[in-house]
Amino acid sequence: EIVLTQSPGTLSLSPGERATLSCRASQSVTSNYLAWYQQKPGQAPRLLIYGASSRATGIPDRFSGSGSGTDFTLTISRLEPEDFAVYHCQQYGSSPSLTFGGGTKVEIK
C-alpha cells in the first residue's frame, strides 16, 4: 500500500504570498495519478488538481500542481482570503486502494 506524507503540517502565510505544499509517496505513483483537494471547516473536500497537474473544472489558475514519481507539489501563486483551508493529496494509481495524505493546513499568519 502506498503511504502519502504531506509537509509541512501547517503553513502560516499572509494573503498575497505564495504557498508551496509537498506530498511524498512511499513508492512511485502509477502514471502520476495524484490529486489534490481543498477542505474548508465543516465542508466536504473539493477536487482541485488531478493527474498531478490538471486543474479541475472551475479551479482558478493560481492553483497549480507539479511533480512525478514520488514527489508532488501543490502551489498557490498568490493566496486569496478564501484559500486558507486544509489541503489533502490522494493517489489513485494503486488499485484497489485509494489513499490520502494526512493534510496540510494553510493558516493566516
Partner 1 sequence: QLQLQESGPGLVKPSETLSLICTVSGGSISSSGFYWGWIRQPPGKGLEWIGSISYTGDSRYNPSLKSRVTISVDTSKKQFSLKLNSVTAADTAVYYCARTIGMATVRNWGQGILVTVSS
Could you list the residues that contact partner 1 (CB under 8 A)? 1, 33, 35, 37, 44-47, 50, 56, 88, 90, 92, 95-103
Distance CA 69, CA 34 (A): 10
Residue 19 vs 101, nearer CB to partner 1: 101
Query: Minimum CB separation from partner 1 for residue 99, in Å?
Result: 7
Burial of 49 (0-12, 13-18, 19+ CB in 10 A): buried
Distance CA 8, CA 5 (A): 9
- Which three cell numbers, joined as nine digits, stand for 39? 477542505
Residue 73 vs 100, nearer CB to partner 1: 100
Distance CA 105, CA 9 (A): 6
Residue 64 vs 100, nearer CB to partner 1: 100
Query: Minimum CB separation from partner 1 for residue 41, in Å?
Result: 11
Say how many C-beta atoms besides its own lie within 10 A of residue 72's C-beta: 27
